[in-house]
Amino acid sequence: MLDLNPALAPLGLVLRCAAVLRRPFVARVVRAALPLARTRRPRARLRETVFRGVVSATMTYDAQPIDDHLRAVDDDTLLGLMDARGMARPFFFVLRRCSPTVSGFTRA
């Protein structure tokens, strides 16, 4: 597992250039650079909060103005909503548990 330092993620650039980051060549370059952004220290906190009237797990990052609100869909799936200062609307994402034999990233 690769533990990334979110402080090194240029959030504004990522949000503006999301379509470019999906291009295969750009995605390969970014994946190759990810080991340079590793960390061994905690960079966020996970807390139980009430978000839109429902108790949720919220990950608040230390060095970014981001809250990721997470809710369980089933035993292996979380639905996430990224709420960041300056975003016009939230970014939704899905996290799925990978089997221990799978390496790399999976797409929702």
**pLDDT one-digit tens code per residue, 2-51:** 576 666 666 666 667 777 777 888 878 877 877 666 767 767 889 999 98
pLDDT higher for 81 or 36? Answer: 81
Whether 57 is in a domain gets the answer yes
Q: What is the pTM of this model?
A: 0.62
Q: Which residues contact residue 69 at a Cβ distance below 8 angstroms, ignoring those fewer than 6 apart?
A: 49, 51, 56, 57, 58, 80, 81, 83
Q: With contact defined as beta carbons under 8 Å apart, do 66 and 58 qualify?
A: no
Within a domain: 50: yes
Residue 10, amino acid = P
With pLDDT > 90 as the criterion, what percentage of the chain qualifies?
A: 27
The whole-chain average pLDDT of the chain stands at 79
Q: List helix spans (H) across 17-94.
A: 18-21, 24-33
Q: Which two tokens stand for residue 101?
A: 């034999």
Q: Which residues pair with 92 in a beta bridge?
A: 81
pLDDT at 108 exceeding the cut of 50: no
Let me know if residue 29 belongs to a domain. yes
* Greater pLDDT, 13 or 94: 94
Count the domains in the chain: 1
Is residue 27 one of the residues assigned to a domain? Answer: yes
Per-residue tokens: 29? 């370059």
107 found inside a domain: no
Q: Is residue 1 part of a domain?
A: no
